[in-house]
Amino acid sequence: MSNRRFGNKMKISSELRAVYQLIRKYPGVSNKGIVEMTNKDERIPDFLSDEAGVNRILKKLRTEVALGNTPPVVERSLVVHDRIRGAGLGDAFRYLVRSVERGDYFGLREIQKELGRNSNSFQKKFNNRIPILAGELPEIDEIYQAWLRLRYESNPIVAMHVEEW
């Protein structure tokens, strides 16, 4: 995980760049999720391709941010990532992002099924925490509002009334 200087700019290693791009796209994703999504990514060497390796990469990325060797957008991505992860919604939020990307509503039941967490407490936690995060972070609000729009549009009652108009 070496970094090289070119003039005033720092050349960031490929594994740092790969993990940064992933947490920017899917903030809050767990180390296990990062391992799953990068298992065929050639930018991450084999010795860093497990959860402990991902943890080392994240620590190195945080160090580079603290040293000022990265653009502000990297620091912001880490802040958003940490906030969602700290709220316990990281892997669930990844499915919201995917739902919005595909333009296909993916509800809480489907998310729970994918994550293997079938409980009312998950739904309650999600429904209580995601609006708070959306109010604090515009990046989250954008995805959340788009997901709510998809939920509204996929509602069969709404669809029935739209057809009547």
pLDDT bin (cut points 50, 70, 90) of residue 10 is low
Q: Tens digit of pLDDT for each residue in 18-30?
A: 999 999 999 999 9
Q: Tens digit of pLDDT for each residue in 54-90?
A: 999 999 999 999 999 889 999 999 999 999 999 988 8
Q: Which two tokens stand for residue 105?
A: 């509503």
- % of the chain at pLDDT higher than 70: 89
* Global pTM value: 0.81
pLDDT value for 158: 66
Establish how many alpha carbons lie within 13 A of residue 99's alpha carbon, considering only the half-sphere containing its beta carbon.
Answer: 25
Mean residue pLDDT across the chain: 86
Residue at token pair 């509503």: 105
pLDDT value for 108: 85
Residue 36's alpha-carbon distances to 40, 107, 133, in angstroms, are: 9, 22, 25
